[in-house]
Amino acid sequence: MKKIEAIIKPFKLDEVKDALAEVGLAGMTVTEVKGFGRQKGHTEVYRGSEYTVDFLPKIKLEIVVDDAQLEEASKAIIAAAKTGKIGDGKVFVLPVEEAIRIRTDETGAEAV
């Protein structure tokens, strides 16, 4: 099993969710985060004084998939989240040791 952590632009969330549903993956966890990579921040003005905002709002999407589905899941996410402009985000793949469904105590691939 692998866990995909994807940082994407917030307005891309629905597209990514739909794309994952199309390849048969319907479960995920989503968090609002702030961050930056190469995308620079921007200046804002508040009551006459300027300040830079470095951290930009993003969405972090976490989904645990079976090894067999890893490639199509990543491809779906990337295709849906891409805009071609700086700040599109990143996909990270991590190994998962165990997964257990709380309601039924199923483990492994059935739990995902």
CB nearer to another protein: give 56 or 99. 56
Closer CB to another protein, 43 or 95, in the complex: 43
3-state secondary structure of 6: strand
- Should residue 51 be labelled a site residue for another protein when binding is judged by CB under 8 A? yes
- The correct pick among 14, 27, 46, 85 for binding another protein (CB under 8 A) is 46
Task: Print burial letters for 84-105: b (CB count within 10 Å at least 16), e (below 16).
Answer: eeebbbebeeeeeeebeeeeee
What are the DSSP calls for 83-110, one per residue? -SSTT-EEEEEEE----B-TTT--BGGG
Binder among 11, 14, 26, 48 for another protein (CB under 8 A): 48
Q: Candidates 27, 38, 42, 45: give the one binding another protein (CB under 8 A).
A: 45
**Where do contacts with another protein occur on this chain (CB under 8 A)?**
44-51
